Amino acid sequence: MDIMNVYKRGNTFQYDFYFKGKRYRKSGYLTKRDAQIAMNIKLNDLLEGYDTDNNLTFVDFYYRWLEITKLDIINDTSYKRYITAIKAFKDCFGNKLISDIDSLSYQKFLKDYGRGHFLNNGQLRPRTSNTVSKMNNCLKQAFESAVEQGYIKKNPAKNAKPFGLKSSQSIDDKFMSITQMKNLIHYVKKNDALSHLCIYILIITGSRFKPVQHLRYEDLNFKKSCIHLNDTKNKYSKRNVKVRIKDLEYIQSVINKHPINQNGYIFHNFINFISYSAINDVLVRFCLKYKYDKYTLKSLRHTHCSYLLAKGISIQYISKRLGHADIHTTLKIYSHLIKEFEDSENSLIEKNLNDLFSD
């Protein structure tokens, strides 16, 4: 290592030294002591393997990291979440160097994202803390990898707090009543459009949207009275879901009114798959007609589960039917609803015991 110098340059001080053949210098310090301290910190970082004097932007690093660690490894939905995260980051920071991202500016970014900034074409659309948390998790992983590789010394996202202005939809709002669900079934069966049929299948299977979107003619099994769902969420997601023969006959009757797609997909118009927004629009129109609160396609899945629970179906069976990785996932998502049924059953047990011991 060559001689380390600190000298005055104009009205401020600058440090200047070489390390392993590379020159390091920085100016703008008000006192010689400040420059000396900064130089010692820089040298210590270099000795520990941290070279923060690189021209690597976080965006460039992120895409490289994403390609190596996530592409073709995680499912499409999760991968899109990672892409959305970096787009929001770039909307805020642009092509800022990875070494220039500090914890305070990153925390402000999360706060602004929760308030509705970024990716909204200038419009403010508040987000939930859960949405912000998911984005933060994507970026935090990449920052941690950058720390491990010596590009930065600290992870600016490590202790960041997700912040959202929009209240998360309450668990009660995510479930339709039986009356509402019956009205929805009646509503979609009045129209032979494929968008309406898609909702019908979501109702009877409790499936996520993507597997139904990619449903093939061969997935309808009349012999076993089930529908095969090629779900890629986890290794347990690919499954056969039991339905009524009546349901399969109705589905087939609607399909027969549409041209047969040679590629084998039910919800494909020879160019594209039917979109989430097209299906959701049907649900929006239904809610407006009946003056119901807003529901999402995920509400259909939650309602499917709640109905089965109310009918006394075991949580083990429901977990497999929904394609969850294990029963703990089901218990976590539906703990609130399960507790309601447990309370109801406890009251029933108490009544039965009172009847047993009554005089």
> For the chain, what are the domain ranges?
5-47, 58-148, 172-330
Nearest to 321 by CA among 266, 334, 173: 334
CA–CA gap between residue 77 and residue 299 (Å, rounded)? 18
Q: What is the mean pLDDT of the chain?
A: 86
Q: For the ranges 78-87, 120-129, 263-272, 332-341, which has the lowest average pLDDT? A: 332-341
Residues contacting residue 178 through CB under 8 Å, at least 6 positions apart: 307
Contact 127, 165 (CB under 8 A): yes
Q: pLDDT band at residue 172, thresholds of 50, 70 and 90?
A: very low
Does the domain made of 58-148 have the CATH classification 1.10.150.130?
Answer: yes
Q: What is the pLDDT of residue 357?
A: 59
Q: Is 117 helix (H, G, I), strand (E, B) or coil?
A: coil
Q: Is residue 2 over pLDDT 50? A: yes
Q: Which of 75-79, 236-240, 283-287, 304-308 has the highest mean pLDDT?
A: 283-287
The type of residue at 257 is K
Please provide the CATH number assigned to the domain covering 172-330.
Answer: 1.10.443.10
Q: Which of 187-196, 271-280, 291-300 has the highest mean pLDDT?
A: 187-196
Encode burial over 208-228: b for 16+ CB neighbours within 10 A, e otherwise.
Answer: bbbbbbbbeeebbeeeeebbb
In order of 29, 110, 157, 171, 328, the CA distances from 116 in angstroms are: 38, 10, 19, 23, 33
pLDDT tens digits for range 249-266: 999 999 999 998 888 999
CA–CA gap between residue 233 and residue 208 (Å, rounded)? 9
Q: Over range 50-56, report the average pLDDT.
A: 69
Contact 128, 163 (CB under 8 A): no
pTM metric for this prediction: 0.55
Q: What is the pLDDT of residue 167?
A: 63
CA–CA gap between residue 279 and residue 299 (Å, rounded)? 13
Q: How far is CA 356 from the centre of its chain?
A: 50
Q: Over range 173-177, report the average pLDDT.
A: 74
